[in-house]
Amino acid sequence: MTTMSETVRIGTSGWSYPRGQGRWNGIFYPAKPKNELELYSQVFNTVEVNSTFYRLLDPETARAWVTITPNDFEFAIKLWQKFTHPGMFKKATGAEPEVTQADYDDFKRGIHPIAEECKLASLLIQFSEWFACTPPNQDTLAGLLRQFKDYPTAVELRHASWGEHSEETKALLAAFDAGWACIDMPQLKGTITQELEPQRLLYLRFHGRNREKWRRHETAEERYDYLYSEEELKPFAEKVREIAAAGESKVLIFFNNHVRGQAPANALMMARQIGLPPTATVRSEFAKAFPAIDDAVKTIAV
C-alpha cells in the first residue's frame, strides 16, 4: 500500500535566496552556506526549479544536482520563458522569441540527467495572468504539450477564462495526460478561481496573498512577501489528505512566498497539517523566526 509520505511531496519554489531583504542565509541556512541545495535536500524531498525559466540548464549542472541530492529527491522544472512568455524573453535578452526545434532540443538536453536518473517530478508550463483562453493560445499550449509529451507535465493557467471554459481546458490537458496546476494567489480582476480536484498529477503552487503588492511593486520579491497562517493552510491540507488517501494521485506542493524563509516555514506547516511525519532538522534561528514549525520538525539544531 502506498503511504502518504510516498504520495505527497512538499517543497519550495527555488532554494537559493542569498541576498537582499528576503534572503534565506542566516535564517534557513547558515550565513555562509557551502552548498544550499545539499542543505535544502536534508529538509525537503522535492524542489521547484525556477532558474530554468530564465535560462537553459547546463547538463553538467543538472548532473551535479542529481549527485548531491538523496536518491529519492525529485525536481520540478519550470519551462523556459522563451516558450511561454515571449514578450518577457525579448525584453530580457533583446532577441526575437522565435522558437525553433533546436530550442526544444537544448532544453531537453539540459534536463536529461535529471530525467535519466528518475528524479524528474514534473515539468511546469506556467503562463501569465494575461494569457487568455483563445484559439491561438490553445494552439500554443497544445504545441508545448505535444513537444514535451514524454515527460510528466503540469500547466499553470492564471487567466479566469480558462476556468470559464473548464471542460474544454480539461479535455485539452487530458489529451496529453497533463495536470492542471492549482494556484493560490491574490484574487484580482481577471485571475482564475480554482477548487482542488483529484488528478493523476495534482500540482499545487502557493504564491502568497499580497494583493497590495501583486501588480504594483518596486521589486519583484515584494509580491511574494507573505506568510500563510495555520487557518489559511488548513482547507488545503484537509483536501490533500482526502485526495491522497484515495491513492490515485501524485501530489506536488510548492510554496513560492520565498521572502525571508517564509516558503520553507509554510511548507513544513503544511506537511504537519497533512499528517506527514516530522523528519527534518532545522536551525534554531529558523525555528525562532517561525514558532509554528516547532512540532513540524524532528530536531532543532543549536
Note the pLDDT tens digit of each residue in 142-181. 999 999 999 999 999 999 999 999 999 999 999 999 999 9
pLDDT surpasses 90 at 19: no
Q: What is the pTM of this model?
A: 0.95
Residue 269 scores a pLDDT above 60? yes
Percent of the chain scored above 90 by pLDDT?
Answer: 82
Signed CA dihedral, 184, 228, 44, 53: sign only: positive
Q: What pLDDT band is residue 302 in, cutting at 50, 70 and 90?
A: low
* Per-residue model confidence as pLDDT tens digits over 46-99: 999 999 999 999 999 999 999 999 999 999 999 999 999 999 999 999 988 899
What would the DSSP string read from start to end of 47-80?
A: EEE-HHHHSPPPHHHHHHHHHHS-TT-EEEEEPP
**Does 277 score more than 60 pLDDT?**
yes
Q: How many domains are there within the chain?
A: 1
Helix locations, 85-178, DSSP H: 86-93, 101-116, 135-147, 160-164, 166-174
| Average pLDDT rounded to a whole number, residues 102-120 | 98
**Number of other residues whose CB lies within 10 A of the CB of residue 216:** 8
C-alpha cell at 14: 527555488
What pLDDT was estimated at residue 2?
58
Show the domain range for 68. Answer: 4-301
Return the DSSP state at 276: P
pLDDT at res. 93: 92
Q: Is the pLDDT assigned to residue 298 strictly greater than 80?
A: yes
CATH code of the domain covering residue 173? 3.20.20.410
